[in-house]
């Protein structure tokens, strides 16, 4: 069987399952699987579509295609997912990094670069970031990838700490740091702030914020992801409220908190910030125009 024939076969199989899972993309998924197994890029596959698959490649493709027909996420099947400018290893112990979260990275970088215009605001020439519930390390590593050179250029010490309560996630994040040769990031096991004994200029987090009764938990990739990273008590607000309440204790003067949340949760999240005396509270929309990240600055009074 050649590349073109397998692509047609795989597309037909996935089309048959599309009614069960509307998130399936038969053409794109087929190509991704073929790229992964043959180690050839899309342009090469399409240009040499008459090339024949080996028996070993066919066996691999059959196994992977069956997993996708069972609606398993492509990221878990391939073991990796692109986020920001990085290709990250993923596993079923963590959330799959999503493009919506990139707006949090973008806003964090915007705030940091604004601070660097006034270096006197850097306490002891350091900028320290805490990433809560780091998972694959996506947020922490994306920030490190952008800031390591800037820190060297501006001669300040960059310190990034990512925490997760799961040791498996911590080890995965560490392996992603090694994969991308990012040296300014440390990952430790901690249930939110429990093992934190320092102060930071910025805290970022994409905590669980889905109600346990939300129907979306049984749809698409989400049904395969760990519920501990998705679901929070009090209709999805428990972890958000906890972080908003406790974070000021771990922030330096003028420290900021950036929280990702559900697109319908912005009003309540802002009210939690206000009740806890945060300043300059605002919500940022994601790339689809939905409320996604709320930011607050520590109240110094």
Summarize the annotated binding site as residue ranges. Answer: 133-137, 164, 192, 206-209
Q: Where would I find the H helices in 39-137?
A: 42-47, 55-69, 74-78, 102-115
Dist. CA 60–CA 83, nearest whole Å: 26
* Cβ pair 163, 195 in contact under 8 A: yes
Dist. CA 198–CA 88, nearest whole Å: 28
The tokens for 237 are: 């607000």
Instruction: Report the binding-site residues for S-adenosyl-L-methionine.
Output: 133-137, 164, 192, 206
135-162 residues labelled b (16+ CB within 10 A) or e (exposed) = bbbbbbbbbbbbbbeebeeeebebbbbb
Three-class secondary structure of residue 299 per DSSP:
coil
Instruction: Report the binding-site residues for substrate.
Output: 206-209
């Amino acid at each position: 069987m050649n590349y073109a024939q397998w692509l047609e076969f795989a597309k037909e199989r996935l089309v048959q399952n599309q009614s069960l899972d509307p998130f399936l993309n038969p053409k794109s998924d087929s190509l991704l699987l073929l790229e992964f197994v043959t180690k050839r890029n899309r342009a090469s596959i399409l240009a040499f579509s008459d090339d024949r698959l080996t028996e070993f490649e066919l066996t691999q493709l059959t196994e992977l295609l069956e997993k996708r027909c069972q609606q398993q996420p492509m990221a878990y099947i391939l073991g990796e997912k692109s986020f920001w400018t990085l290709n990250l290893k993923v596993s079923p112990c963590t959330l799959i990094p999503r493009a919506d979260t990139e707006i949090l990275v973008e806003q964090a970088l915007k705030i940091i670069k604004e601070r660097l215009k006034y270096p006197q605001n850097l306490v002891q020439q350091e900028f320290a970031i805490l990433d809560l519930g780091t998972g694959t390390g996506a947020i922490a590593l994306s920030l490190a990838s952008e800031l390591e050179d800037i820190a060297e250029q501006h001669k300040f010490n960059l310190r990034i700490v990512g925490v997760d309560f799961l040791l498996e996630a911590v080890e995965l994040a560490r392996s992603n740091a090694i994969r991308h040769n990012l040296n300014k990031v440390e990952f430790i096991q901690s249930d939110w702030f429990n093992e934190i004994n320092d102060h930071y200029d910025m805290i970022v987090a994409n905590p669980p914020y889905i109600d346990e009764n939300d129907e979306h938990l049984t749809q698409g990739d989400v049904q395969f992801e760990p519920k501990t990273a998705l679901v929070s008590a009090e209709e999805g607000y428990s972890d958000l409220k906890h972080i908003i309440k406790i974070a000021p204790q771990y922030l330096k003067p003028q420290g900021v908190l950036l929280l990702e949340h559900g697109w319908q949760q912005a009003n309540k999240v802002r009210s939690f910030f206000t009740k806890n005396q945060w300043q300059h509270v605002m919500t940022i929309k994601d790339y689809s125009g939905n409320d996604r990240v709320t930011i607050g600055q520590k109240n110094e009074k």
